């Protein structure tokens, strides 16, 4: 089974690229983030034409997540348990489903904006709710392969950004964010590390200043799996080719191959 996670930065703008990538890479399950559309506006038809079932969760211009699967799409859950609101709105940042015997989530963790911003405090509350949700699901089915996938907006280590000295006062690398991510993993999850291609581990490159070609990236798109999931991993990599060319997302897909029938 091949699974992937990809922040597409607008499914409307990226649908042709997504369809092309599905045809060439042949993933069985794909977690998408940052749809930037409502559930009703999600362009299902060209994806369904390739044999995928679609579960999308979006409420407008920002956020939005989806899971595409050609191996079953069961027990779909929208939002985290006790997910905190931001400005009185429960944002569409989480969707879970069981696909081909694997339980997985597509997650778009809040950005945080700046360490002294309310959005940063919201990000930490959101990650605490993610921990509680994962802990409950893992306790209920400890032997089921399980993964949290998506754009976590946290770089776990200093080497996951191109120049840590430039992030002194920035989000994504602060001790509190990294501690919150570690707390999520403490419930029985560990990171699936993709093999580095072209000598760098990054999954995101800003559109500005030629960041992709200069290697000015960050690794913020992650896959956290439980022991049964990680035991089945046969390969994992960042598909840099999908970041190239006109109309690309600013993120690249993270692909994980599993030895699961």
Residues 207, 161, 226, CA angle at the centre, nearest 5°? 110
Q: How far is CA 122 from the centre of its chain?
A: 18
CATH no., domain 2-258: 3.60.10.10
| pLDDT per residue of the chain (261 residues) written in tens, 0 to 9 | 999 999 999 999 999 999 999 999 999 999 999 999 999 999 999 999 999 999 999 998 789 999 999 999 999 999 999 999 999 999 999 999 999 999 999 999 999 999 999 999 999 999 999 999 999 999 999 999 999 999 999 999 999 999 999 998 899 999 999 999 999 999 999 999 999 766 788 999 999 999 999 999 999 999 999 999 999 999 999 999 999 999 999 999 999 999 987
Burial-class residue 44 by CB neighbours within 10 Å (0-12, 13-18, 19+): middle
DSSP designation for 51: T
pTM of the model: 0.97
CA 141 vs CA 71, 106, 149, 225: distances in Å: 20, 19, 18, 13
pLDDT value for 169: 82
The pLDDT value recorded for residue 198 is 67
pLDDT at 201: 86
**Rounded to whole angstroms, what are the CA distances from 80 to 46, 96, 104, 144?**
29, 9, 13, 19
């Amino acid at each position: 089974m091949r699974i992937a996670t990809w922040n597409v930065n607008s499914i409307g703008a990226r649908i042709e690229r997504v369809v092309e990538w599905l045809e060439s890479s042949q993933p069985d399950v794909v977690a998408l983030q940052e749809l930037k559309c409502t559930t009703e506006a999600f362009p299902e038809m060209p994806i369904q034409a390739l044999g995928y079932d679609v579960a999308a969760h979006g409420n407008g211009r920002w956020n939005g997540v989806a899971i595409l699967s050609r191996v079953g799409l069961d027990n779909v859950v929208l939002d985290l348990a006790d997910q905190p609101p931001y400005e009185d709105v429960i944002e569409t940042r989480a969707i879970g489903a069981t696909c081909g015997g694997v339980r997985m989530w597509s997650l778009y963790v809040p950005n945080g904006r700046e360490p002294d911003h309310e959005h940063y405090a919201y990000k930490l509350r959101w990650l605490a709710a993610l921990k509680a949700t994962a802990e409950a699901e893992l306790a209920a089915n400890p032997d089921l392969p399980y993964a949290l996938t998506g754009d976590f907006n946290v770089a776990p280590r200093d080497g996951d950004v191109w120049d840590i000295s430039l992030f002194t006062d920035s989000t994504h690398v602060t001790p509190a964010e990294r501690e919150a991510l570690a707390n999520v993993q403490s419930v029985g999850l560990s990171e699936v590390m993709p093999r580095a291609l072209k000598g760098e581990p990054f999954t995101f490159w800003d559109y500005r200043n030629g960041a992709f070609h200069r290697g000015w990236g960050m690794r913020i798109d992650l896959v956290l799996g439980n022991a049964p999931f990680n035991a089945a991993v046969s390969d994992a990599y960042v598909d840099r080719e999908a970041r190239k060319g006109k109309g690309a997302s600013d993120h690249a897909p993270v692909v994980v191959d599993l030895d699961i029938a």
